[in-house]
Amino acid sequence: MKFSRCSALRGELTVPGDKSISHRAVMFGALSEGTTEVTNFLQGADCLSTIDCFRRMGIEIDNTPERILIHGKGLHGLTAPTTILDTGNSGTTTRLISGILSGQTFESVLNGDASIQTRPMKRIIDPLTRMGADIISMKGNGCAPLQINGSCHGKSRLHGIHYQSPVASAQVKSCILLAGLYADSPTSVTEPYVSRNHTELMLSGFGADIRTEGTTASICPDPHLTAMKVEVPGDISSAAYFIAAGLMVPDSEILIRNVGINPTRDGILRVIRDMGGDLTVLNEKISGGEPVADLLVRTSDLHGTVIGGAIIPTLIDELPMIAVLACLAKGTTIIKDAQELKVKESNRIDVVVNNLKSMGAHIEATEDGMIIEGGYPLHGAVIDSRLDHRIAMSFAIAGLAADGETEILGADCVKISFPGFYEMLGKLQK
């Protein structure tokens, strides 16, 4: 797919549903009694992997364009899969399901694509093992495939623990809390900084006794979970590409409707303001237990900033896009405390820095992020997305603000989180 400089982006759009919330709606709906109805579900490949895994464990799921219906069977209603559970490219599916599977009375094997098979699973294997789970990395390399033997004399083998997590990761936190549903006493997780809290908010809606105090989330075992309606807000991580495009491309004005602005996800909005971006938050309301708003962005002269510490987990998936923006902002931008970028769908520090260098950016990788000297023009280049959806989308936007032609290799991978991304972008071009 090829991109070249664009003179203006104008119009209004609605981004697809939030990926994190869509995954959780399927998982928690499956563990609840009754039928959970989900609207604005993200039909991305990652969330379809979650649906497929639960279907293989006996859960009936009707997937239509208007809504999905999950016919839950309660906390103890899953049945043994007869095949490997294929989690595709999805870290969220792999890690959250592992917590659930550790509490079952059957054996299962989880595996995913080449990227998933390199992503660190020791971060969940260690705490789950401390809870009494029987979970192994089948190749002994701390990655998938994972074999999980839930059974212990026909009962769950799990004990409640307090886990001090070395990383701020909602996938790790959620995995442990979900295993905690099947433990014999309460379970809690403390993180260095608060990561996204969709599990806590949504599980509480389904009827779990789950609480948060500071950076600690705690759950009581064996709740009665009841089906509910989930209205998925637009994904702020998908909105990020249009926010950046609206700021970078001259003579632009874009209104993005119905975007989730949960404070554990809204770091990009704070950074844009810090950089001097013209961004207005309109029509704030609560929808389906999550704060949502419309976002209006206009072309802006940006300046550099420092991004690090507690804000990092609230914008972790947006950092590739923010790095591109920083190249066009005047002055220096420092991204630090973001070593988690190395273990995403690709090594996002290396891939972002190398691709931006090939576009002529003044950027250097550091151990925990990158340093960008902004204000120099970007030139078109051939960009290897490494099949990482967020790299493909960030560099498609970079291509709109670069001279010459930018070609994205593996462009189709955007279907992981944003089917229809290129078409939506095309409609804004004037």
Binding residues vs ligand S3P (CB under 6 A)? 20, 92, 169-171, 174, 195-196, 316-317, 340
Least distance in angstroms from the C-beta of 390 to ligand S3P: 8
Q: Which CB sits closer to ligand S3P, 169 or 394?
A: 169
Contacts of 123 (CB under 8 A, 6+ apart): 165, 166, 167, 169, 172
Which alpha helices (DSSP H) does 131-235 contain, by range?
Answer: 170-180, 198-206
Q: Which CB sits closer to ligand S3P, 56 or 348?
A: 348
Of the CA atoms within 13 Å of residue 227, those in its CB half-sphere come to 14
Q: Which CB sits closer to ligand S3P, 151 or 212?
A: 212
**First-residue to last-residue Cα distance in the chain:** 19
The order of strands in the sheet holding 216-219 is 162-164, 187-190, 216-219, 210-213
Least distance in angstroms from the C-beta of 417 to ligand S3P: 8
Element at 23 (helix H, strand E): helix 19-30
Q: Where do we find the tokens 């098979």?
A: 117
> What does DSSP assign to residue 17?
B
| 290-to-31, 43, 162 alpha-carbon distances in Å | 21, 20, 27
Least distance in angstroms from the C-beta of 196 to ligand S3P: 6
Q: Does the annotation count 317 as an active-site position?
A: yes
Least distance in angstroms from the C-beta of 95 to ligand S3P: 7
Q: Which CB sits closer to ligand S3P, 317 or 388?
A: 317
Least distance in angstroms from the C-beta of 322 to ligand S3P: 14
Residue type, 271: V
- Taking the C-alpha atoms of residue 266 and residue 237, their distance in angstroms, rounded to an integer, is 9
* 214-227 b/e (C-beta count within 10 Å ≥ 16 → b): ebbbbbbbebebeb
Q: Which CB sits closer to ligand S3P, 20 or 32?
A: 20
Least distance in angstroms from the C-beta of 318 to ligand S3P: 10
- Taking the C-alpha atoms of residue 40 and residue 8, their distance in angstroms, rounded to an integer, is 29
Q: Which CB sits closer to ligand S3P, 202 or 293?
A: 202
A 10 A CB-CB count for 301 gives 12
Residue 353, token pair as written in the block: 């820095």
Catalytic residue (choose from 235, 266, 294, 317): 317
Least distance in angstroms from the C-beta of 423 to ligand S3P: 23
- Taking the C-alpha atoms of residue 78 and residue 181, their distance in angstroms, rounded to an integer, is 14
Q: What are phi and psi of 415, to 5 degrees?
A: -65, -15
What is the torsional sign of CA 312, 313, 314, 316? positive
Q: Which CB sits closer to ligand S3P, 171 or 333?
A: 171
Q: Which residues are identified as catalytic?
A: 317
